[in-house]
Structure 1
Amino acid sequence: MAPAEDDISIEEKRVYAGTADRTDAYVATGNGVVRVALSADKVGAFDMVARDPARDVAVLPRDGDPDLVGIATADGLRVARVDDDPEFGRSAGDAAPAVAVGAHDGAFLVALEDGGIDRVAVGGGDAGPTAGVTRLGSVSEPRAVDGPLVAAADGVHRVTGSEGAGEDLALTAVGLDDARDVAGAGMPLAATGSGLYWLGNGWMTALEGTAEAVAADGDGHALAVVDGELLVHAGDASGAVAWDAETWRLADLPVDEEAVALGYGPGISVTVTAAGTLCVDAGDGWRHQVVGVRDVAGVALAVVE
Structure 2
Amino acid sequence: MKKPLTILFVALLLVTGLSAFQHLHAQSRGRISYEASRRIDPSQLRIVVNGQEVRPGSPDFPADVPDVRTFAQTLSFAGDYAKEVLEGGGGMMVRTVVDAGPGGGGSRGPQTTNLGRPFEESTYLNLQERSATTVLTLKKDDKTTEYRADAPIAKTEGWQLTDQTKKIAGYTCRKATVPFRKETYTVWLTTELPFTYSPIRELTPDKGVVLAVEGSTEQFRATKVDLKAPVAEADVRPGAQAQQVSEAELKELRDKARADFRQRMMDNFGGPGGGGRN
Interval of TM-score (by shorter of Structure 1 and Structure 2):
under 0.3
Higher strand share: 1
TM-score normalised over the length of structure 1: 0.25
Higher helix share: 2
